[in-house]
Amino acid sequence: MKPETARIDNPVSSIQEDILRGIDKGLDAFGENVRTVFYSEMEIRYQLGRNKILEHPEEFVGAISRFFTVGSSLVERSIGREILRIFDIPLCPSINFLSAMEIVKRYPNLQIRDT
């Protein structure tokens, strides 16, 4: 099955992949090496792999907080902005990861944007 076909047949999977891509881009704002180290630490210390972030969003936020400490709010805002950009949703000034997730869940017509 081609990736394009999988994307159309399973829009939830497409949305999840886009959210993960937004997380990656948000972390990349601080350097690709930062993203790589953060994901490694997250998996080693918290047993939370990248593919489990959407199942455990609060734990992901906790991992951000513990890893980035003082700068964690900047990281969360960067991730939130990138998620909204990927979905072409207008940006909010105080967006963070969890609020971006809520907005994406509630955004009308999101399922049909790939067709």
- Is residue 85 predicted with pLDDT exceeding 80? yes
Closest CA to 71 of 11, 13, 30: 30
Closest CA to 46 of 54, 73, 38: 38
**What are the structural domains of the chain?**
10-107 (1.10.1200.200)
- Is the pTM here over 0.85, yes or no? no
85 burial level (CB within 10 Å; 0-12, 13-18, 19+): middle
pLDDT in tens, 41-59: 999 999 999 999 999 999 9
Q: What separation in angstroms does the CA of 13 have from each of 4, 7, 54, 64?
A: 12, 7, 11, 24
Alpha-carbon 30 to chain mean position: 15
